Amino acid sequence: MNFELTAEQREFQRIVHDFVDKEVRPHARHVDETGEFNWAAVRKMGPMGMLGLQVPEAYGGAALDAICATIAIEELGWACGSTALAISAHN
């Protein structure tokens, strides 16, 4: 069994990582210290397909497979555990 990510999955991981590094990670400390949610980043996640990760497209979701959904949450967790938990709970 092959456990390597596909080229498409690696590209998705790179895109998500770059996004969270720029939009989520710089605000992580503030989120944790104040409890204020980073709504600006979340608003940008929708068009990227990071909300409704496994929801079918017919219902407005991204219809990602389990691996890509996991990649998205893992990368969010790398940047900000609070944001990752909130997004994960709603997917």
For residue 72, is it within any domain? yes
6-45 CB burial, b ≥16 within 10 A, e <16: eeeeeebbebbbebbeebbbebbeebeeeeeebeebbeeb
What is the total count of domains within the chain? 1
For residue 7, is it within any domain? no
Could you list the residue range(s) of the whole structural domain that residue 29 is in? 15-89
For residue 9, is it within any domain? no
For residue 2, is it within any domain? no
pLDDT digits 0-9 by tens, 7-53: 999 999 999 999 999 999 999 999 999 999 999 999 999 888 889 99
- Could you tell me the CATH number of the domain that includes residue 23? 1.10.540.10
For residue 3, is it within any domain? no
For residue 58, is it within any domain? yes
pLDDT digits 0-9 by tens, 66-88: 999 999 999 999 999 999 999 99
